[in-house]
Chain A
């Protein structure tokens, strides 16, 4: 029997005041006018709780761009979902934070781009760093879990030590170091973001030292970059196995990037119940189990661990969504990844030349 999903990722809007160059949102952003209404989301959260979903991740875009975030949080909390807000913090005043905590927010995950203001604002394409620092103090006034999240890449890895020290000072419960994953805007900017092998090796030591330093007071979680790994990540814990993502317009997807795979038909929560989408939607069925697998995955003993890696990456890099994830060292197309790594410039580019080279993620329009 198909187990129910454990977590629901609700991309409640694609609107965002930040323009991060590594954004994982799709290149085709959902317009504000297409967004689900408050009552649609409330129904979706109630259905999720009934299905046994444990965690709700409210994300975007910037979820705070929705003026009904307090109502959404309250509905999720009352349904019994563990409610997590993934945010840049822009749009969160001290008062609004109080209202969200009162509505039942369990955890806030605040993103940082760097330790130093100019560099952080340059990566985000918006003045945002100073507010985040202020917000971190307000968060500690409440009894909710606080994760400081840092997306790392070639442009900020060289001062990781400094940035970790800065994040520790904010007294979070968790620090999450997430290596950039190359989908959406990050894939577009890959040449500027891909770290060097030397940077990664140094980062491992820096993280290990930080873990030893803060043991017992802060938990550090680090997500290893897959291009440099020997085997692929178990993307989303396997396609249609644990997670379900609803985009701003109500489309149900097995992951953030699945929209890039041609030929998949995504059902909408406006038309079908969450339960029936999870069970029967053709997009969710497509890469469940092992029938779709090709060699070497089909007979690989790791297939029950990593499920052949990421379907979107297989399509984006090897033009075949059913292929072994090219980041796998056993993949017939692994050369594509090795070539990419070989081509990456080794130096950290200057701010001015980078500004000409990379593409900031825009804010979607009303239509």
Chain B
């Protein structure tokens, strides 16, 4: 399912943060996923409050100088992949 501008992404039911501050993980029913770099930056903003538009704007601030369209495309792809794996809901 495509993520919409007004979607408010959040960790899916049964998924939660784990690991340590240096090596954060997302835990889900049958496993865990290491999260780092831009993936971590995106997921950290998915709190169920911010809209996708707001998340992209925040990322564009954090990665100032990078191609804004590319940031939007990367965030879209990342969230849609995690949605399919039932790790993110929106």
Binding site for B on A (CB under 8 A): 6, 54-55, 80, 82, 84, 106-107, 109, 143-147, 173-174, 215-216, 218-219, 221
Shortest A97–chain B CB gap in Å is: 15
Contact in complex: A216, B12 (CB < 8 Å)? no
Contact in complex: B18, A54 (CB < 8 Å)? yes
Shortest B77–chain A CB gap in Å is: 15
In this complex, what residue of B is CB-closest to A54? B32
Contact in complex: A173, B12 (CB < 8 Å)? yes
Within 8 A of A (CB), among B26-60: 27-32
Contact in complex: A107, B86 (CB < 8 Å)? no
Contact in complex: A80, B18 (CB < 8 Å)? yes
Q: Is the CB of B13 closer than 8 A to any CB of chain A?
A: yes
Shortest A211–chain B CB gap in Å is: 11
The CA of A84 and the CA of B32, in the complex, are separated in Å by 14
Shortest A224–chain B CB gap in Å is: 16
Shortest B47–chain A CB gap in Å is: 15
In this complex, what residue of A is CB-closest to B86? A219
Contact in complex: B84, A145 (CB < 8 Å)? no
Contact in complex: B32, A145 (CB < 8 Å)? no
The CA of A143 and the CA of B85, in the complex, are separated in Å by 18
The 3 closest A-B pairs by CB, nearest first: A145-B14, A82-B27, A107-B29
In this complex, what residue of A is CB-closest to B18? A54
Q: What total of chain B residues lie within 8 Å of the partner, measured CB to CB?
A: 19
The CA of A80 and the CA of B29, in the complex, are separated in Å by 14
The CA of A116 and the CA of B21, in the complex, are separated in Å by 48
**Per-position 1/0 for B64-90, Cβ under 8 A of A:** 000000000000000000011110000
Asked whether A54 and B25 contact (CB < 8 A) given A106-B16, A143-B13, A173-B12, the answer is: yes
Among A144, A145, A147, A216, contact of B83 (Cβ-Cβ < 8 Å): A216
User: What A residues does B25 contact at CB under 8 A?
Assistant: 54
Contact in complex: A147, B32 (CB < 8 Å)? no
Asked whether A82 and B13 contact (CB < 8 A) given A107-B29, A174-B86, A216-B84, the answer is: no
Sample of 19 further A-B pairs with CB below 8 A, known A106-B29, A145-B29, A221-B30: A54-B19, A55-B27, A55-B31, A82-B18, A82-B27, A106-B14, A145-B12, A145-B28, A147-B29, A173-B12, A173-B13, A173-B29, A174-B29, A174-B86, A215-B84, A216-B1, A216-B83, A216-B84, A219-B85
User: What A residues does B84 contact at CB under 8 A?
Assistant: 215-216
The CA of A54 and the CA of B18, in the complex, are separated in Å by 8
The CA of A185 and the CA of B44, in the complex, are separated in Å by 46
Shortest B27–chain A CB gap in Å is: 4
Which of A145, A146, A147, A174 has the largest count of B CB atoms less than 10 A from its CB? A145
